[in-house]
Structure 1
Amino acid sequence: MQSIIHSWHLVFICFSFLATISKAQTNEFTESKNYEGSSDLLNLQYHMGPILTSPINLYIIWYGHWNPTHKSTIRDFLYSLSSSSTPSPSVYNWWQTIRLYTDQTGSNITESISLMGEFIDWEYSHGKYLTRLSIQSVIKNSISVRYKPLPLNYKNGLYLVLTSNDVQVQDFCRAVCGFHYFTFPSVVGVTLPYAWVGNSGTQCPGVCAYPFAWPKYSGMPSGNKDIMGAPNGDPGIEGMISVIAHELAEVSTNPLVNAWYAGNDPSAPDEIADLCVGVFGTGAGGGFVGQVYKDKKGNGYNLNGVRGRRFLVQWVWDPVRKSCFGPNAIP
């Protein structure tokens, strides 16, 4: 893996893989493909690779200019993942489905996700247009700067790169809303699992922040008419949170692209969140997100979080039920 030849081979595999890893996230809502009903035919298999069973130390890289309120909303979602005291159905309950996945030793995905550090790349160290590969250079910068760098944690570190709404990323909005992979030693020095998610608020909210915005050319009303309200006030951030959840579920169960996925080709897998894109509640399908709750203002949500927060997060594939599932499911 550390040889030049092998590194370039990995680059090729990376680009091929990432071209499809989040393909389902950009389907128009009228083309929703999901497995909300139970299925014994889905070929979801464990391919013997490692999963994230050790407590996760999460590090955020805020790339670009960020509104403090938006950062607080995202932090609260991340804090909610390990908060068992929040009322059901909760973000914590949602994570328990991911925890059902095990490795060859029978060890489960960790219950502990701790936000251990943040780095603010407010100077856009690699510009306002990022390629897929340059995301890794952004991570390298965050651990290499002289002033308050992030730690290089190759044992149980997970790095989350979040780009502000004025940053363009290769294939963002067109093919991906977020992706996960692992860093190349030739770029970062070690192999680290990471994920990237972009803020679609001004670029493509109808693609990456649905159902808080209509997809373009959907034939649906323009403006805010009949749009589901965002529980924390900003469609772009609400969309990011669901994509962050999507990527955390997948990077935990398939960090090196050799663990849990469906299909025979690791360069084009269907992972546990890909199988449930567009599913937020019971009865989802055909553009209907499913039965979710409404707050006093009529904003949609399906999970409770810390500090009274509410979130709308997509379901994931439950390996026991063999269907998409979330804690707000109606029996």
Structure 2
Amino acid sequence: MASLVPTYLLLQLVLVISFFQFNLAARRLADSAESQQPLLFQYHNGALLTGKISINLIWYGKFKPTQRAIISDFITSLSTSTPTTAQPSVATWWKTTDKYYHLVNSKKPSTLVLSMGTQIIDETYSLGKSLSNQQIEELASKGAQKNAINVVLTSDDVAVEGFCMSKCGTHGSLKGASVQGRSYKFAYIWVGNSETKCPGQCAWPFHQPIYGPQSPPLVAPNNDVGLDGMVMNLASLLAGTTTNPFGNGYFQGPKDAPLEAASACPGVYGKGAYPGYAGDLLVDPTTGASYNANGCNGRKFLLPALFDPSTKSCSTLV
């Protein structure tokens, strides 16, 4: 059953420009007045994720093998070593994050190499079908904790604290187990499948929006509104996780509600975007699906604009 938005959020919802924005703790609502403010992105002298990082997937609930393949193909497509002849590509989209590392140290910038890690499947709902934030962290801790980003993905029949009411996903960091007397922090992400709960909020533009300008929904590139929405949200959170993993990296605004690499560009997927319109996108002539990035295994995805710190503007692939 879809969650209802509290009355105190209705005024914000009337003004919303792109439904939900991600911040360190959650993807939150943004109003049109806020979105028109200058983008004053700052580096807060903290660590960025560097080196070889594995992305481990923790699947919680029922997912079809074809659905799991959509997410894993997206993760694999992030690497420039993955052969993708068609452009624009997922790897090209991800290279915008390199600019953050160059700004930290232009003479000898650090590098980040992402790769697909292990996958854990929990189809028995070991913690039930209604999860708290603490339980999401418990699930995230099941993955490897050194040089890793652990991604918790919940199925469309799982309720999560705050899901649909104030967030579509979240990212943060946790203290891992001690290794040779030394403790490490590891990054984690949670994203929920909104298809049966709030697709108008967390899977737009592949579903009619609940509030704001009304326009026909676009055709999802992988023919799965819920999973294509999860890819968009996961992409946003990955960009925020790598450039602001511990709350003191790159962001604008207050630390407890920051705008990050992708959430600083809400609702923008192509050039010419405006409230209610995702932008001028590519369209598959066979399926009619809208997309802006090609991936491995012939995949197509719709990925959010990223804030380019060198131009101080939102950068799109198309």
TM-score between the two structures when normalised by the length of structure 2: 0.83
Paired residues of 1:182 and 1:192 also in contact (CA < 8 A):
yes
> What's the counterpart of residue 235 of structure 2?
245
> What's the counterpart of residue 42 of structure 2?
45
Distance 1:108 1:63, change over 3 A: farther
Runs of 4+ in structure 1 off by over 3 angstroms are 17-21, 31-35, 103-111, 217-221
> What's the counterpart of residue 14 of structure 1?
none
Paired residues of 1:130 and 1:169 also in contact (CA < 8 A):
yes
Match of 2:279 among 287, 290, 303: 290
Identity of aligned residues (%): 39
Match of 1:23 among 24, 28, 45: 28
C-alpha displacement at 1:121, in angstroms? Answer: 1.4
| 2:151 is the alignment partner of 1:160 | yes
Distance in 2 (CA, whole Å) between partners of 1:70 and 1:98 is 27
> What's the counterpart of residue 134 of structure 1?
135
Paired residues of 1:34 and 1:278 also in contact (CA < 8 A):
no
Instruction: Give runs of aligned pairs for residues 211-250 of structure 1, distance below 5 A.
Output: 211-217=205-211, 220=214, 226-250=216-240
Distance 1:228 1:327, change over 3 A: same
CA RMSD in angstroms comes to 2.5
C-alpha displacement at 1:20, in angstroms? Answer: 6.0
- Structure 2 gap ranges (5+): 1-21, 178-182
Instruction: Describe the SS at the equivalent of 1:290.
Output: coil
Distance in 2 (CA, whole Å) between partners of 1:98 and 1:80 is 15
| 2:194 is the alignment partner of 1:193 | no
**Structure with the largest fraction of strand:** 2
C-alpha displacement at 1:273, in angstroms? Answer: 1.0
> What's the counterpart of residue 305 of structure 2?
315
Instruction: Describe the SS at the equivalent of 1:248.
Output: helix
Instruction: Describe the SS at the equivalent of 2:251.
Output: strand
Instruction: Describe the SS at the equivalent of 1:289.
Output: coil
Greater shift in the superposed pair: 177-186 or 277-286: 177-186
Instruction: Describe the SS at the equivalent of 2:257.
Output: coil
How many residue pairs align between the two structures?
A: 288
Alignment deviations for residues 134-187 of structure 1 (CA, whole Å, 9 cap, x no partner): 2111123x2xxxxxxx4x332x1110010011110111111101110011459x
Greater shift in the superposed pair: 83-92 or 111-120: 83-92
Match of 1:177 among 155, 159, 168: 168
Distance 1:34 1:204, change over 3 A: same
Instruction: Describe the SS at the equivalent of 1:98.
Output: helix
Match of 2:204 among 203, 207, 210: 210
Distance in 1 (CA, whole Å) between partners of 2:169 and 2:110 is 21
Match of 2:261 among 272, 277, 291: 272
Letter in 2 for 1:208: C
> What's the counterpart of residue 70 of structure 1?
67
Instruction: Give runs of aligned pairs for residues 47-62 of structure 1, distance below 5 A.
Output: 47-62=44-59
Distance 1:110 1:33, change over 3 A: farther
- Structure 1 gap ranges (5+): 1-16, 143-149
Distance in 2 (CA, whole Å) between partners of 1:238 and 1:266 is 29
Distance in 2 (CA, whole Å) between partners of 1:90 and 1:32 is 32
Alignment deviations for residues 18-65 of structure 1 (CA, whole Å, 9 cap, x no partner): 7964114xx59xx59647xxx9x4221111110012121111000111
